[in-house]
Amino acid sequence: MISAPAFSTFFPPRRTLMGPGPSDISPQVLAAQSKPTIGHLDPLFIKMMDELKSLLQYAFQTTNPMTLAVSAPGSAGMETCFVNLVEPGDTVIVCRNGVFGERMRQNVERIGATAVVVDDPWGQPVSAAKVEQALQQNPQAKFVALVHAETSTGVCSDVQTIAAIARQYDCLSIVDAVTSLGGIELRVDDWGIDAIYSGSQKCLSCVPGLSPVSFSPRAVQKIQDRSHPVQSWFLDQSLVMGYWSGDGKRSYHHTAPVNGLYALHESLRLLAEEGLENAWARHRQQHRDLATGLTKLGIEFIVDEQYRLPQLNAVTIPEGVDDAKVRSRLLNEFNLEIGAGLGDLAGKAWRIGLMGYAARKENVALCLQALNQVLR
Ligand SMILES: *Cc1c(COP(=O)(O)O)cnc(C)c1O
């Protein structure tokens, strides 16, 4: 016998989460998560899933019937889009201006497809002109993939323009909206986006581990016309859809994360109650207040003002300041988490998140006061 370890119950501290995600979760969403678990094919649960779908359509601003939450984190949403749409031998234009564009490239290559990478420097948006040039040079390309809100650098790219260019060249667009959904303007139907994925734990301020996705009718057609079966059984949308729709006779695919979906339902319900445009405005306002305060502390932004994401503020660590020490003091003395730099920006930047429920006055005040004290 291996003897039983005797641990006490885990009690996490109450932190303020102002990093790149997970973000602060509203008490209502946490309460929703602890409601009684019911069967995932219980008629009342199915009714809740139908509401969840409508709420996701609102958040994405789409009427796409194929809109649902993948039972796994944002990275699985990314993989869902790529493995369902892209087939071996296809060519995909992949825009890379940070960590997540590079992950898209890896997804494409693992499928056995070809990634034509359009590189832009870290801290700058994807260049629409370069994308168009790549499309001219690669007439065989079938997809354009890009990240709307690059969490590694705090840059917003012009998805509306690039998705329109993709259409002109008869390509489908695949968009990463993990950090953008609920935080900045995003209109899936008006912008003509074909496949999009997000995450529960950023501007939706829900528990981590769920990934909203949506596919346009063109994308659904593409999936139906595949000549190879999707290599991932779990992520194959043609199977998953029998579970999320199925008109009265849903079939078992996998056991839904029942309580996580309660939480997502509540977080999206709160977003709908506030109104998308009000949520976007709130993120902008809190960002402006934070930016004013940071400037007073002599802290500079990495990204030009016009491309900055309100929900992810990437700033340069001031000269002579010990990155790890500051972040650990913020955590231990103020219960405040901010993000470290990622990839090329490791050790050079902090990433201060104002995502969802974290985008509020108290958080901005706490962050500025704590930084002021620790840096002094
Ligand atoms: C966080 C993030 C992801 C990955 O989401 P996980 O839930 O961590 O798997 C993908 N893309 C972007 C832009 C992100 O910020």
Cα separation, 149 vs 309, whole angstroms = 7
Q: Which domains does the chain have, with CATH numbers?
A: 16-22+276-375 (3.90.1150.10), 27-272 (3.40.640.10)
3-state secondary structure of 212: strand
Spacing, Cα 257 to ligand 1 middle (Å): 19
Rounded to two decimals, the pTM is 0.97
Pocket of ligand 1 contains residue 318 by CB under 6 Å: no
Pocket of ligand 1 contains residue 180 by CB under 6 Å: no
3-state secondary structure of 351: strand
Per-residue model confidence as pLDDT tens digits over 218-261: 999 999 999 999 999 999 998 888 788 766 678 889 999 999 99
Alpha helices (H) along 297-321: none
Q: Which residues contact 261 (CB under 8 A, 6 or more apart)?
A: 48, 49, 52, 69, 210
Scored b (16 or more CB within 10 A) or e, 97-116 reads bbbbbbbbbebbeebebbbb
- Which residue ranges of the chain lie beneath pLDDT 50? none
For ligand 1, pick from 82, 100, 147, 178 the residue to mutate: most ligand atoms within 8 Å of CB: 178
Pocket of ligand 1 contains residue 81 by CB under 6 Å: no
Spacing, Cα 75 to ligand 1 middle (Å): 6
Cα separation, 318 vs 321, whole angstroms = 6
Start-to-end CA span in the chain (Å): 55
Q: What is the pLDDT of residue 251?
A: 81
* 178, 308, 282, 323 alpha-carbon torsion, rounded to 10°: 80
- DSSP class of 301: B
Cα separation, 226 vs 342, whole angstroms = 36
Cα separation, 176 vs 148, whole angstroms = 6
Atom of ligand 1 nearest to the CA of 149: 13
Per the annotation, binding residues for substrate are 351
For ligand 1, pick from 100, 157, 206 the residue to mutate: most ligand atoms within 8 Å of CB: 100
Residue whose Cα lies nearest atom 5 of ligand 1: it is 74
Spacing, Cα 178 to ligand 1 middle (Å): 6
Atom of ligand 1 nearest to the CA of 199: 7
Residue whose Cα lies nearest atom 6 of ligand 1: it is 74
Pocket of ligand 1 contains residue 100 by CB under 6 Å: yes
Q: What is the pLDDT of residue 343?
A: 85
Nearest to 146 by CA among 170, 168, 169, 116: 116
Residue whose Cα lies nearest atom 14 of ligand 1: it is 178
Q: What is the pLDDT of residue 247?
A: 64
